[in-house]
Structure formats: C-alpha cells, structure tokens
Structure 1
C-alpha cells in the first residue's frame, strides 16, 4: 500500500496553551509555566507538555479524515497512541503536522488503520512523531 497523506495542519505553540495543558495534566514543573525556570533548565522558552501536539486536533476536520479513509465514524475507537520527541517543543515554535496512513489491515471483523503524524518546526526540522492506531469495529448484525 502506498503512503496516503490524510491531512496537514499548522499551529503556533503558545505560552497560554502550554499553561492550560500543564494545568489540565497536573504538570507541576515550572519549566512549563515560568520562562525564567525554563531558561534556568536550558530551554529558550517555556517547554510544552508531552502531549501538547494534540492541539492539532483543534485544527483538523476530524469527521472529514474519517470519511476520507472510508471508516464508519460511529464504529471507530483509538487503539493506541505513542509520541516520539526528536527535540523539545517550546513556546514560539510553529509546527506543521502531516498525517499519513502507514498501514491499513483487516483482521476478522476489525479494520486497523495506523497513522503517523510528523510535526516539523518553522525551520523544517522534525520535532515530534505521533503514531496512532484507529480500530473500526465490524458492523453489528
């Protein structure tokens, strides 16, 4: 199967949004909220929390990509998600996320679609890779 691009979105990594994620995920390390603490730890600005790139979901047409893949929205669940950071994501970064299908298999009454999203920064350098498996359950008889 060839690699299929599902979607592409871009967004700015903002201090305020990082603070929201830190609060929501109970991340207490001040590198996520205090620029001075972040600089003291060796970062140029506030450090994003580990799952920050889920912000991309706010910029995507979630229903549209499910339709594009030919999945039945009401029967899809997320099977797994893994994040691989290639470098720290900081306030001030501009990330572009390109999501691709890397595998699409059927096992009995399940269809498992594996997606990989590569987030590149404003310099074109890879920052994060996210791999997720979507599982479409078979139709009920």
Structure 2
C-alpha cells in the first residue's frame, strides 16, 4: 500500500519519563565520555540543572512502542524493511525529570523505481516529542525503505 492514504495518520503515541538512572545507563552503554551525562556535579558545573540525556537517548521510546502493530498498520513486510535515515532536531536538551509524549505520524508514502530494477516503497515518519507543558523538545524524522519482492 502506498497510495498516500496514510499521510497524516498518527501511527502511535507514547508517554515516557526521562529518568536519571536510565540516562546514566544509556551513556555508559554507548561509551559516552562526557561526564555531564553520568555525574550530577559535572552536569551542574556545565550549567544543567540535572543530568542531560545523550543525543540519541530518545531511541529508548522504542521499548514502549508496539513495533509489530506499527508495521502491520503501515502494511509493511518487516523482512524487507531497512532504515534509510534517522534525523533529530533538538529544541532543547532532554533532562532527567522530563515527562515526554511522542506522537509519530506518516508524512510521506511513495513508490519509487529502484536503480537495479524493481520498485521500493519509501515511508517517511515524523515524531514530535513534547514536554509536560506541551512545548516541543525534539523532532525526529525516519525514512523506512521496503524493498520490492525478490523474483
């Protein structure tokens, strides 16, 4: 399905808290060397009121999403899907104590001819993360590519 009917559709909405312990764990797991993400004193000395999350911390929202329902809703064959790109725009740093709501919607859905023959489906998603006041914090743009069926 890539008839454009899904454009504008909200595919999921997730609420999650940015937790100090999870910031620390994520920073350690990703080998982050800047102590502002693991040491509250270093964070305060750098001007933060608490630990700021690492730039890719928002990927943890995937643990709360029902990925199978998401793929089914878009009509994608998961075994043929690759991530074309992911981009984030930060409007302010994520901080320990933030309560965020992430709304992901379809903003593009098209079929393209492949360079080696066949076709592919390109689905573009945008997720807006807002804080408890409703202020936008992060915008994420994902491009998913579903390769055509093998001959």
1:49-93 deviations in Å (ceiling 9; x for gaps):
000000110000001101000111111111100111000100000
Which residue number corresponds to residue 116 of structure 1? Answer: 126
SS in 2 for 1:19: helix
Larger Rg: 2
Could you say which residue in structure 2 is the equivalent of 1:47?
A: 52
Work out the CA distance in 2 between the residues paired with 1:29 and 1:10: 27
Of residues 94, 104, 108, the one that matches 2:109 is 104
Structure 2 residue runs without a partner (length 5+): 114-118
The residue aligned with 1:30 is: 35
Shift of 1:15: 1.1
User: Does structure 1 residue 60 correspond to structure 2 residue 70?
Assistant: no
Alpha-carbon distance between aligned partners in 1 of 2:71 and 2:142, rounded to the nearest angstrom: 14
TM-score between the two structures when normalised by the length of structure 2: 0.90
Aligned match for 2:139, one of 129, 133, 139: 129
Q: CA deviation at 1:40?
A: 1.2
Q: Secondary structure at the match of 1:21?
A: helix
Please, what is the CA RMSD of the aligned residues?
0.9
